[in-house]
Each structure stands twice: as C-alpha cells, then as structure tokens.
Amino acid sequence: MTAIDVARAGAGVVKWLISPCGTGATVLTTASLAGPAPRSQGDSCARTGDEVKAIVKIFRNRFVWVAVILLAVSAGAAVLANSGGSEAKPADVRGQILAKMRSTLEQVDPGQHNHAGHQATAAESSVVCGVHVYGYEPADATAVASVRTVYGFHLCGVAEARRPWDVAVKLAGPLIMDMSADPPGIQVVEATADTMYIDRLKEMFPPSYAELAQKEALPGPEMSELRRRYDDAAGL
C-alpha cells in the first residue's frame, strides 16, 4: 500500500464518520458515546449511540491498521536507506594516492625528484609539496596497493628559514610515480637536448592524461594549502 492508499483509507473513515447534512454535519461528541441519543426532528443524519459505538470501533480498528501499515512502510524505507548507505564503497583511492605522492616527494632529497639543474639547498631546509592526479593505472583499482603507475603534477617549495615563497627554490611539473617500487620511483617530464617539453610529455603520458597535463596544474584549494604549509615550514 502506498502513502496515497493510506491517505485514501483514512479519508474514507472520516467521510463515513462525519457526513454532510444539509449545510451542517454530524458531529461525534463524548455525550453521544454514553448511550443512545434521540434523533433531532428533521435531522435525518443524526446517529444513535449504538451506531456511533459501531462507527468508533471500526474507526479505531481502521486506524490501527493504518498505523501498522505506516510503521511497515517506514521500516522498509529505513532498511532501504540503511542498506544503501552501508554498501561497501571503494576506498577513496584518489585521495590516498594524493597523500602518498605528497609524502613521497616531501621525504626525499630535492635531488631525487630528478629535476635537471636543481639548485643546491641548505641542509636544514625542508620540502613542502602540493600535488594533483591526472590518472592512474589500472584505472579500475579500488585500493592504493593495486595501483602501479600514477600520472600527476607536483609543485614543491624548498622551505628555508624566513625565505618567502616568491623567492624559494621550486620544483614543478608533470610526473610519473612508480607505485610498484618501494619507495615509489619519480620521473619528471622535462625537455631534453633533443626533445621539446611537449613532445616529451606526449612520449611519457597516455594521450588523455597528456591533454590534461597541458591544461591543469594545482587546484585552488591544494595551492592554498601548499602556501600555508610552506609558510609554517619556513617560519613565516
């Protein structure tokens, strides 16, 4: 029974109990429940006490069943809602990959980012990174442990004491992270003496990810968080 059916059932009971009588209506009162009430002269709709008791009994029984139906419907809806919310959902693989990329890049020496011509940095400096994922393989992986290769972007700042972000040494660009290695391997897309950057990108990245890498860098929230973390690390 749907909610509309329940409403119709209730409406039918009310219509039976309170019926039109000219311009007025038959009204159920506590006095009429006490016993037979005389019919008013000309009031063809007035009900006797026995009639009222019978109506009330049916009215009461009908609404007991309506309440039962409503409870059943509510329980069914709750079960459906709970089962839908408790379905086993794949882990947030992308979010976990971002965290893994970030921690990997920040834990290695800047020279291990494999950037050509990176500048020497102070021994007491730290690396703070923001990352973005274009995609990973296999694309249907439901756990980080199943991911072999990540195609993404990184922007890292070498945080030295009191050195502002604008003049900090930075390491940036699309990269490939080999997640099957421990620690993960890092390969940055860079131009070579013989190959332009765009050609190198297309050589290293699958076409769909190479296209994204030409359009996307760090999302706004990630960039804001990177700057906040850099300032903290640099003591600014």
Residues 155 and 226 reside in one and the same domain:
yes
Residues 49 and 111 reside in one and the same domain:
no
Residues 136 and 203 reside in one and the same domain:
yes
Domain range for 153 is 93-234
Q: What is the pLDDT of residues 66-101, one digit of tens each?
A: 444 444 444 444 444 443 443 334 558 999 999 999
- In whole angstroms, give the CA distance from residue 80 to residue 230: 47
pTM: predicted TM-score of the whole model, two decimal places: 0.59
- In whole angstroms, give the CA distance from residue 211 to residue 174: 11
Per the structure, the count of domains in the chain is 2
Residues 110 and 70 reside in one and the same domain:
no
Burial (CB < 10 A; 0-12, 13-18, 19+), residue 106, is middle
Q: Which amino acid is located at 3 in the chain?
A: A
Q: Which of 35, 56, 85 is the last residue of a domain?
A: 85
Q: How many CB atoms lie under 10 A from the CB of residue 36?
A: 13
Residues 138 and 213 reside in one and the same domain:
yes
What stretch of H or E contains 169?
A: strand 169-178
Long-range contacts of range 215-219, CB-CB < 8 Å, 24 or more positions apart?
Answer: 216/132, 216/134, 216/153, 217/132, 217/153, 217/155, 218/130, 218/131, 218/132, 218/153, 218/155, 219/132
Q: Tens digit of pLDDT per residue, the chain (236 long)?
A: 444 444 444 444 434 343 444 444 444 433 343 444 444 444 444 555 565 555 545 545 554 444 444 444 444 444 444 434 433 345 589 999 999 999 999 998 765 554 544 454 555 689 999 999 999 999 999 999 999 999 999 999 999 999 999 999 999 999 999 999 989 999 999 999 999 999 999 999 999 999 999 999 999 999 999 999 999 999 98
Q: 157: which 2 tokens?
A: 């700042």
Residues 99 and 197 reside in one and the same domain:
yes
Residues 132 and 59 reside in one and the same domain:
no
Residues 73 and 119 reside in one and the same domain:
no
Q: Which of 54, 85, 116 is the last residue of a domain?
A: 85
Q: What share of the chain is helix, strand, coil (3-state, %, to 5)?
A: 45, 15, 35
Contacts for 76 with CB less than 8 Å, ≥ 6 apart: none
Residues 115 and 210 reside in one and the same domain:
yes
Task: Round to the nearest angstrom and report the end-to-end CA distance of the chain.
Answer: 66
Residues 97 and 40 reside in one and the same domain:
no
Q: Which of 66, 85, 104 is the last residue of a domain?
A: 85
Q: Are 174 and 198 in contact (CB under 8 A)?
A: no
